[in-house]
Amino acid sequence: MSRKVNTFASFITQPLNVYNFEIRITSPTDKVDETVLMVVESTKFPSEKMRTMEKNFQGEKITYAAKPDSSGTWTITVPEGDKGQTRKELDRLKNKMYDQKSGSVIPTIWYDVEVFHRDLQDNIVFSVVLHGCWLKGRDAIDLKTNDVSSSVSWNYEFQYQWIEDKLNNNPGTPNPFGE
């Protein structure tokens, strides 16, 4: 058996998990270094794809890479505690930008949201920073008297301006492709 087969087998038996991640929300505009660590139930790892630009040359379509494009929105699902701590914390972020009673909006309060993907030893494998985030709000939740076993989870949506990909120096398992 070749060494590449052994290396590939070790790679396949230790895949990166989907449940070990961390979310940090940081406000660069606050004078006090404020970071909110969120206990997030689920989310999607943000992504972006290169746009394409098409040109025709002698009857053939040629595509070129252009600036990246992202959805610009990102959602998280967070569990709620008995005292409403999660909603209070996220509404506090939103209320820095929007005063519900007066209707005034301060649109320049943007946050950086960091999403860290970690291995089984809690080492950061890779991460992204969503720059220029602001909290759009939360989705409605269903309240029902016939389901006593369910608990509240909020879906919050953020709007962001751009993504910064970060690769960390975690060596992980050997690359089975020898690169």
Q: Give the model's pLDDT for residue 106.
A: 82
Count of beta carbons in the 10 Å neighbourhood of residue 128: 20
Mean pLDDT, residues 22-28 taken together: 80
CB contact at 8 A, 24 and 113: yes
CB contact at 8 A, 26 and 44: no
Q: Give the model's pLDDT for residue 35.
A: 62
Mean pLDDT, all residues of the chain: 82
Does 154 have pLDDT greater than 60? yes
pLDDT, one tens digit per residue, over 65-87 is: 988 888 889 999 999 888 988 88
- For domain 3-167, the CATH class is mainly beta
Calpha distance 179→174 (Å, rounded)? 9
Distance of CA 177 to CAs 5, 93, 125, 145, 174, Å? 10, 45, 18, 55, 9
Does 115 have pLDDT greater than 80? yes
Of 59-63, 97-101, 108-112, 146-150, which range is least confident?
A: 108-112
The pair of three-digit structure tokens given for residue 150, joined into one six-digit string: 């369910």
Does 93 have pLDDT greater than 60? yes
Whether the pTM exceeds 0.85: the reply is no
Round to the nearest angstrom and report the end-to-end CA distance of the chain.
Answer: 20
The pair of three-digit structure tokens given for residue 63, joined into one six-digit string: 């595509």
Does 41 have pLDDT greater than 80? yes
